[in-house]
Amino acid sequence: MNREIRWGFMGTGRIAGCFAKALTVAEGAVCYAAASRTLEKGKSFAAEYGFAKAYGSYEEMLRDDAVDVVYIATPVREHYNNIKMCLEAGKHLLCEKALTVNAAQARQVVALAREKHLFLMEAMWTKCQPVFRRMRQWVEDGVIGEVQAVDINFYTAAGKGHRLYRHELAGGALLDLGYYPVICAGSFLGSRPKAVLSHSVIGKGNVDYLDSIILEYEGGKFAHLLCGLGTKKTASMYILGTKGRISLQDGLFFMAERAQAVDFEDNVLASCEEPFLMNGYEYEAMEVMDCIREGKTESALVTLDDTVAGMEILDRCRADAGFYYEFE
Ligand SMILES: NC(=O)c1ccc[n+]([C@@H]2O[C@H](COP(=O)([O-])OP(=O)(O)OC[C@H]3O[C@@H](n4cnc5c(N)ncnc54)[C@H](OP(=O)(O)O)[C@@H]3O)[C@@H](O)[C@H]2O)c1
């Protein structure tokens, strides 16, 4: 039996609910404290998901010595301050993506976590999922030959007033959706491309609605990435190698439960099927808890260096578009 780890949640929105459900299947995870900006909301979330404690402020929860690790599930704009609050309170933490608004903030919080010897990981759940790990292994083993290109897109729509359309919460396609293609491309071609080219369309509410990104790597390898707001949720990924390809075009690539690698004649080179135990967030929870139990302060699956490199790419894209947030 794995040692119990007591989780404290910061924020009680949509994704916090998904993660709370996932914790019920992660061995040793305890839904312990739910902190909201209002006690009423904290209590209602705690009751719904079986948390022992509810707090009406994030600061109060951080003073609870029984909290082993904090999960930050607030809008991107808040992450930088929320992470610093956790680290100053001596808490390990998992923070939703994007880790911060820009690379400078990311470098600062990474340095602080390292200085304080506390665990910090960005909640890039895809990288922890079994199918994604299998695909990385196939690529490493040369199943599709040498990767030449990746092609990834992620579009979604959200209702009026959603945080995605709110500039003041660091909304926009890039920080929320574009981050997946950027980070996933890095998993197959390397996190530091030699060139970044991008074009963005800035829409109503002064947020980016569409971003088209080309990452160029040594040897003529490239990634073509797209993200956008305002259309049905769609997310596909192609990994193209010298001997074959992996394509995830059914369902959403960032939460794939099956995958196949085929050669140029469509003969199957490898395949796998790994149904989620719950909803796919359980694997990042297990990774965090394994690391903490082993006394690690960083995950080898979702490295802090890759996170910072991803933020640097997003910074470059926003600079190309001349798109900034006043509060960064
Ligand atoms: N990994 C994934 O698959 C995935 C999917 C969706 C979202 N996300 C990420 O998760 C984070 C939260 O997204 P979400 O969809 O859960 O958002 P949401 O439903 O709007 O919830 C965000 C929560 O943050 C808290 N909060 C703190 N400061 C806030 C502020 N200034 N304005 C509004 N809310 C504030 C609120 O909780 P209290 O009122 O209880 O304090 C709110 O309920 C984002 O960083 C997003 O990128 C990840």
pLDDT of residue 2: 81
- For β-strands 244-248 and 258-263, DSSP reports them as antiparallel
Ligand 1: centre distance to CA 19 (Å): 12
Ligand 1: centre distance to CA 163 (Å): 8
- Ligand 1 lined by 122 (C-beta under 6 Å): no
- Candidates 3.40.630.10, 3.30.429.10, 3.40.190.80, 3.30.360.10; CATH matching 130-275: 3.30.360.10
Q: By three-state DSSP, how is residue 125 classified?
A: helix
Q: CA 212 to CA 73: how far, in whole Å?
A: 27
**What tens digit of pLDDT does each residue of 229-251 get?**
988 999 999 999 999 999 998 89
Q: CA 304 to CA 110: how far, in whole Å?
A: 7
> Is a pLDDT exceeding 90 seen at residue 204?
no
Residue ranges of domains in the chain: 5-125, 130-275
Contact in structure between 239 and 256 (CB atoms under 8 Å): no
Q: Where does the pLDDT of residue 114 fall: very low under 50, low under 70, confident under 90, or very high at 90 and above?
A: very high
pLDDT of residue 159: 85
Q: CA 298 to CA 82: how far, in whole Å?
A: 18
- Ligand 1 lined by 97 (C-beta under 6 Å): yes
| Average pLDDT value over all residues in the chain | 97
pLDDT of residue 21: 98
pLDDT of residue 244: 98
Ligand 1, pocket-test mutation among 94, 163, 233, most atoms within 8 A of CB: 163
Q: How far is CA 173 from the centre of its chain?
A: 14
- Ligand 1 lined by 78 (C-beta under 6 Å): yes
Q: Give the H/E segment covering residue 33.
A: strand 29-35
pLDDT of residue 97: 96
**What tens digit of pLDDT does each residue of 7-40 get?**
999 999 999 999 999 999 999 999 999 999 999 9
Ligand 1, pocket-test mutation among 44, 70, 74, most atoms within 8 A of CB: 74
Ligand 1: centre distance to CA 244 (Å): 39
List the beta bridge partners of residue 36. Answer: none
Secondary structure (DSSP) of 9-61:
EE--SHHHHHHHHHHTTSTTEEEEEEE-SSHHHHHHHHHHHT-SEEESSHHHH
List the beta bridge partners of residue 10. Answer: 35, 72
**What tens digit of pLDDT does each residue of 264-311 get?**
999 999 999 999 999 999 999 999 999 999 999 999 999 999 999 999
- The residues, any chain, with a CB within 8 Å of residue 264's CB and separated by 6 or more, are 243, 244
Ligand 1, pocket-test mutation among 14, 15, 60, most atoms within 8 A of CB: 15
pLDDT of residue 161: 87
- Cα–Cα separations (whole angstroms), residue 17 to 77, 117, 144: 20, 29, 38
* 7's tokens: 């989780």
Ligand 1: centre distance to CA 38 (Å): 14
Q: Where does the pLDDT of residue 50 fall: very low under 50, low under 70, confident under 90, or very high at 90 and above?
A: very high
- Cα–Cα separations (whole angstroms), residue 84 to 153, 279, 301: 32, 29, 23
pLDDT of residue 324: 95
> Is a pLDDT exceeding 90 seen at residue 44?
yes
Single-letter amino acid code for the residue at 317: C
Q: Give the H/E segment covering residue 135.
A: helix 130-140
Superfamily of domain 5-125: NAD(P)-binding Rossmann-like Domain (3.40.50.720)
Q: CA 150 to CA 127: how far, in whole Å?
A: 16
Nearest-atom index, ligand 1, CA of 10: 41
pLDDT of residue 158: 86
Ligand 1: centre distance to CA 130 (Å): 26
pTM: 0.97
Q: Give percent of the chain with pLDDT exceeding 90.
A: 96
- Ligand 1 lined by 107 (C-beta under 6 Å): no
pLDDT of residue 250: 84
Residue 204 is among the residues annotated as catalytic for this protein: no
Protein residue closest via CA to atom 2 of ligand 1: 15
List the beta bridge partners of residue 31. Answer: 7
> Is a pLDDT exceeding 80 seen at residue 185?
yes
List the beta bridge partners of residue 156. Answer: 229
User: ω before 22 within 30° of 0 (cis)?
Assistant: no
> Is a pLDDT exceeding 80 seen at residue 1?
no
Higher pLDDT, 138 or 204: 138
- Ligand 1 lined by 12 (C-beta under 6 Å): yes
Q: By three-state DSSP, how is residue 270 classified?
A: strand
Nearest-atom index, ligand 1, CA of 17: 16
pLDDT of residue 117: 98
